[in-house]
Amino acid sequence: MSVVTSRRRAVGSALFVLAVTASACSGGAPAAAVIDGPEAHALVAAGATLVDVRTPAEWQGGHLDGAVLIPVQELEQRLQEIARDRPVVVYCASGTRSARAAATLRAAGYDVRDLGGMSRWGG
């Protein structure tokens, strides 16, 4: 066996282990779809709920039109404020909190998409 073949097998095995571990850590549930600005615009235009999961101070500094503010740390206690009969698009400043919020919403049975950082919304 050549060195290249051996390395390819090692890398392939490592990727498999990472995939299995990630699946086990997430309970096997698929992650929420990460979307771009145009897709987020289309979903919101079609009736999706746009949720800003940043802090109230960040919200006051500017937010996307039509969004509702539910800080990620309050999300589990405020799920009843989000309609279950339509998709939900979440965003934050960089994507970390929106990923966490998307996982929470998905686990609660919502159809959720993750825009990530609000800069991805575009104009």
Domain ranges of the chain: 1-30, 31-121
Where the chain has pLDDT below 70, the residues are 1-30
pTM, entire model: 0.76
The long-range contacts involving 95-103, CB below 8 angstroms and separated by at least 24 positions, are 97/53, 97/54, 97/72, 98/53, 98/72, 99/31, 99/32, 100/53, 100/72, 101/51, 101/53, 101/72, 101/75, 102/31, 102/32, 103/26, 103/31, 103/32
Q: Which of 32, 53, 92, 112 is catalytic?
A: 92
Q: What is the pLDDT of residue 107?
A: 95
| The CATH number, out of the four listed (1.10.3720.10, 3.40.250.10, 3.40.640.10, 1.20.1250.20), of the domain defined by the range 31-121 | 3.40.250.10
Is 92 tagged catalytic?
yes
Q: What is the pLDDT of residue 30?
A: 60
| Tens-digit pLDDT profile for residues 68-95 | 999 999 999 999 999 999 999 999 999 9
